[in-house]
Chain A
Amino acid sequence: MISRSIVPDTIARQPWGMLVPLMGLVTLGAAVLYSAAGGSLQPYALSHVLRFFVFLGMAIVISRFNRDMFRMAAYPIYGAIVILLVLVEAIGAVGGGSQRWLNLGFMTLQPSELMKPAIVLVLARFYETLPHAMTASWRGLVPAGLLILLPVAFVAIQPDLGTALAICFGGGVTMFLAGLPMWWFVSAGVTALIGAPIAFFTVLHDYQRNRVLTFLDPESDPLGTGYHITQSKIAIGSGGIFGKGFGNGSQSHLQYLPEPHTDFVFATMSEEWGMVGGYFVLFVFALVLSWGLRVARNAPDRFSSLLAAGMAATIFFYVAINLMMVMGLAPVVGIPLPFMSHGGTSMMTNMICIGTLMAINRWNTRPNSLS
């Protein structure tokens, strides 16, 4: 529906108004990764672009599915991923202190990532089939809560706090939009405010607790756990308005910046491209997310609108947490920046979200497919 009038009909199916800026973002990401690899396409930039196009293909395939296929697939996909999560717990590979990956032989899979869109899908399906009158009753809350808690529990014991929060967030936003009574959310928020400090001292692992403490006072331990945040802020701050120029980022090239190609890719980019680059990234995300929200609002039925809004929220969660982290507004949580960070799983998750949004967009723009 966006700018259809200026593109030929043959290719007007795709939402170019969103896809073109997105490609620009991926290109910028590739440029940053090229620089982070010391001016080389290997090992990051090339695979980043290749992955984007592979997953874009996948997204287009997803966008071809019709609503009924989504509806039918919702519970089986959810179940399959829960089984994968159990498998991770049983046989998964341990990396970075937590057990997250499943080695499939040809690739390593992080099932918790797949759960982020899956939880939105299954909840959209759940609320669609739930009789409207029950939305405000316990039958609208408890099954949905269990659907969220089950995977969150598995992810949390990996332990992977960031992903667990992302799943909660995606699920929570879907429930919120499904029309559950507002005061439930208010009281849940109050409970969280009270429960968070308790959880901080009991549930969190030491390294997670440290990250939170460091976030609250990064300068207290500049060479220890506060190192990440401090170096990231130095990178962003020293970039200034126009940046140090392509390939000139000293923070990333001299390895002061941790993870310059994954979690801290935004800092790497800001150092070289400055605030201009940063605002470009924010602008593209704003375009993509507002497009997603518009798709949700234009969706003709409950399932599509909930699905679309949930997918947009999932992408938003990635972006918001990652950017807040690199700018020192949130604790260090291992969440990559969509479309810029190097990493297959997050690219896949985000492209699943995009693909789903594109599918819903197609349903919106092609009324004849309405069932």
Chain B
Amino acid sequence: MKINFRRLIEPRHVSAGTLRNSFDRRSLIVGGVQGGIGVLLASRMAWLAIGQNAKYELEAESNRVNLSLIPPRRGWLLDRNGTPLASNRADFRVDVIPERMGDKAQTLGTLRQLLNMTPIAVQDLEDKIEKARGFAPVEVASGLDFERFASVSVRLPDLPGVVTQRGFSRFYPLGPSVGHLIGYVGPASAEEYEKDHDPVLITPGYKVGKDALEKFYEKDLRGKPGARRVEVTASGRIVRDLDTREDVPGKTIKLTIDAGIQDYAARRIGIESGAAVVMDCQTGDILAMCSMPSFDPNSFSDGIGRLEWKMLSDDDHVPLRNKVLRGLYPPGSTVKPMVALSFMEAGLDPNESVFCGGGLRVGNRVFHCWNHRGHGQVNMAKGIYQSCDVYFYHFAQRIGMDPIAAMAGRLGLGHDFPLPVSGQSYGTVPNPAWKLKKYGKEWQTFDTVNATIGQGYFLVNPLQQAIQASRIASGKIIMPRLIHGSDYEAPKSLGIAEEHLAYIHQAMSDVANGPGSAPHARLPFPDIKLAGKTGTAQVVGLNIGNGKGGQWKHRDHGHFICFAPVENPRYACSVVIEHGGGSPAAYPVARDILTYIFDKQKGMDILTELEQGWGGTPKQRLDARYRKYAAEYGVGAPAVSPEQESEAADQANPPTEAPQPIVRDAQSPAPEPAAANPAAPAAGAPAPASPPSPTPTATPAQTPGNPQ
């Protein structure tokens, strides 16, 4: 301490010699330190290059080599004649992988410029990126021309996270006509990836089936991904291919669908909301199955944008619901041939008749016929072709509900079928036991009355209607088939007497070709006749509307089931037009579809003329509507929240057991305007119609309303 203090104020003696000495010593220290650091570096080098060589070699290799999956080409879906319903077309596409993007805003800005994206497309892309999990690729654009594709490709080094690819994209030549039948594809969602950890799901450009057949046969259609080992730079640019394994395309699936009929039927429904099913009534092959309005599966494959979403949700025709399988409708009078068959089997002589004066009195109540002026004397055939309600009210009282319900079941109502579809609704064929179990209430007279005219608890879907028509036509247990050539067994007989079927066939033929309720349903061929049955199903009680005009939502559903040719049934068809105002909306559709089947040119001519009035094909109408929305809302459409999406899914798939309110009264049909039924006067024997009992006979202790 003392020494240091002295040194501070009085420097020790310094001379050239001591400095030289000090330099010599200190330069050795410096040299020693340098040498020490050199040894340190040498040993560090050895540690890295020898001690940790294996680890770093692996890391260098995983830097260098990138294993990328080649999305497999999806299997084609063909119609019965080999026409593609879903194919792949080569395209140029651009994806982004959000977590690999650097400056998102800048990258997106560049992409927008290079690809000429509209503000709407940019907004949709931003939405998708926001929702996507970071590692899952998001499609920016597909179906690009080579120039735009190349303009992105050359800038890849400046666009981290952007992937360009020559690949294949799904193509549906028939567009909206097969939307519900085939479904669509889209990038796998997070939940789908959770369930199925196949890495191909997060390969850029790979799409999974999102609905209908595309979803049901996902595993078959998927195929096996190819793989490509490539050398990549730090920025992800591919330097060279190391090796490649080709992909194995998915299986081709051949359907029983006839592309022409499918397209025609879908287009013929036009601007209505409805469904049509065409079956081969000897084999059960489904030739067409369409629900309209639909969506264009081609435009869904890059996800559903805000504007598309708004279009879909604004549409009260529920374009996302597959009405063939999930729509449930009271079948109305289309059940009458079935009810008549059950009567005959129960021993009723078809020639036994009842007088229809516009209503039937049972006890102290009067149940009205749709024709309040009455049909006069009515036997079974007339009951069918004139659709007289009183005939069925009367004999149903005698036969009872159970045989009717049993016959309905034998003809396919109230069942689902082994088809490759998700979610078929069963519908309801009511009977006393069912009612007691479900509501704890006794079966009432008015329940039978309702059931015999396809109202009340009765609910069916259009597929069941077509199967019913097929089974009546062929007398066999026809099972619907969608997959061509799948194990086919010749259908067995229903066990219904031939003469009963012949009688019903004749009565149904008379609907169109005789003195029936739908003379305009007659086919425009001299030698081919169809047999059918109309149906008008009330949607709301008569206290709300008469079902013909007024609010769209309150109009009656129109039904038609038919088969042709009468003598040797080959094709069966069912059509439902929601809120069409009654059967006159439905049977022209069925008639034209059958016309097309027998004479394509004739059918097309009719359709072309109609479509001119409707503003083009469904695809053209969708496109026009999209343009209108784009002009009107631009980027102003609200974002789609996940809740809304699941809500839409619910809407598209209503619970199979729809809550049915208890029916407390007869649902008498509304009086038909006389002009709507020109055949009625020609029916002959218009017996002096007793005026419908005006006395509103009390429905004891029950509300007069009949909610439905």
Chain B interface: which of A72-80, A172-180, A352-360?
A: A172-180
- Given A237-B55, A320-B37, A270:B49 Cβ within 8 A: yes
24 contacts between A and B (CB under 8 A): A132-B16, A136-B11, A176-B26, A179-B18, A179-B26, A233-B48, A234-B63, A236-B45, A237-B53, A237-B57, A238-B56, A238-B60, A250-B231, A255-B234, A275-B49, A278-B45, A293-B27, A293-B31, A293-B34, A297-B24, A305-B23, A309-B30, A327-B44, A329-B41
Q: Are B64 and A254 in contact (CB under 8 A)?
A: yes
Interface of chain A, helix or strand or loop or mixed?
Answer: helix
How far in angstroms is the closest Cβ of chain A from B67?
Answer: 15
Q: Are B57 and A240 in contact (CB under 8 A)?
A: yes
Q: Mark B32-61, 1 if CB is under 8 A from A, else 0.
A: 001101101110111011101101110111
Partner of A309, one of B27, B37, B52, B55: B27
- Given A179-B18, A240-B50, A327-B45, A233:B56 Cβ within 8 A: yes
- Given A293-B27, A296-B27, A285:B38 Cβ within 8 A: yes
Chain B residues, CB < 8 A from A135: 14, 19
CA A302 to CA B235, docked complex, whole Å: 55
Query: B residues engaging A (CB < 8 A)?
Result: 4, 7, 11-16, 18-20, 22-24, 26-27, 30-31, 34-35, 37-38, 40-42, 44-46, 48-50, 52-53, 55-57, 59-61, 63-64, 231-235, 239
CB of A361 closer than 8 Å to a CB of B = no
CB of A53 closer than 8 Å to a CB of B = no
Chain A residues, CB < 8 A from B61: 238, 250
How far in angstroms is the closest Cβ of chain A from B241?
Answer: 14
CB of A313 closer than 8 Å to a CB of B = yes
Q: Which residue of B lies closest to A271 (CB)?
A: B60
- Given A136-B12, A176-B26, A254-B234, A316:B34 Cβ within 8 A: yes
Q: Are B59 and A238 in contact (CB under 8 A)?
A: yes
Q: Are B49 and A236 in contact (CB under 8 A)?
A: yes
Q: Are A173 and B19 in contact (CB under 8 A)?
A: no
CB of A235 closer than 8 Å to a CB of B = yes
Partner of B48, one of A236, A282, A302, A313: A236
Kindly list 5 other residue pairs between chains A and B, CB separation below 8 angstroms, not including A132-B19, A236-B56, A270-B45. A183-B7, A251-B64, A254-B63, A275-B45, A293-B27
CA A297 to CA B30, docked complex, whole Å: 12
Chain B residues, CB < 8 A from A132: 14-16, 18-19
Query: A residues engaging B (CB < 8 A)?
Result: 132-137, 173, 176-179, 181, 183, 231, 233-241, 250-251, 254-256, 270-271, 274-275, 278-279, 282, 285-286, 289-290, 293, 296-297, 302, 305-306, 309, 313, 316, 320, 323-324, 327-329
Chain B residues, CB < 8 A from A271: 60
- Given A275-B45, A293-B30, A237:B56 Cβ within 8 A: yes
CA A271 to CA B27, docked complex, whole Å: 35
Q: Which residue of B lies closest to A240 (CB)?
A: B53
Chain A residues, CB < 8 A from B16: 132, 302
How far in angstroms is the closest Cβ of chain B from A137?
Answer: 5
- Given A240-B50, A254-B63, A302:B44 Cβ within 8 A: no
Chain A residues, CB < 8 A from B14: 132-136, 179
Chain B residues, CB < 8 A from A177: 23, 26-27, 30
CA A270 to CA B234, docked complex, whole Å: 19
Partner of B60, one of A234, A286, A328: A234
How far in angstroms is the closest Cβ of chain B from A296?
Answer: 6
How far in angstroms is the closest Cβ of chain A from B57?
Answer: 4
Q: Are B49 and A254 in contact (CB under 8 A)?
A: no
CA A250 to CA B38, docked complex, whole Å: 27
CA A328 to CA B53, docked complex, whole Å: 15
Q: Would you list the 9 A-B pairs with minimal beta carbon distance, nearest first?
A: A237-B56, A238-B60, A179-B22, A275-B49, A136-B11, A250-B64, A238-B56, A237-B48, A255-B234
How far in angstroms is the closest Cβ of chain B from A28?
Answer: 15
Partner of B49, one of A237, A250, A289, A323: A237
CA A145 to CA B167, docked complex, whole Å: 69
CA A260 to CA B235, docked complex, whole Å: 15
Most buried by B among A137, A254, A275, A328: A254
Q: Are B7 and A327 in contact (CB under 8 A)?
A: no
CA A247 to CA B57, docked complex, whole Å: 17
Q: Are B60 and A302 in contact (CB under 8 A)?
A: no
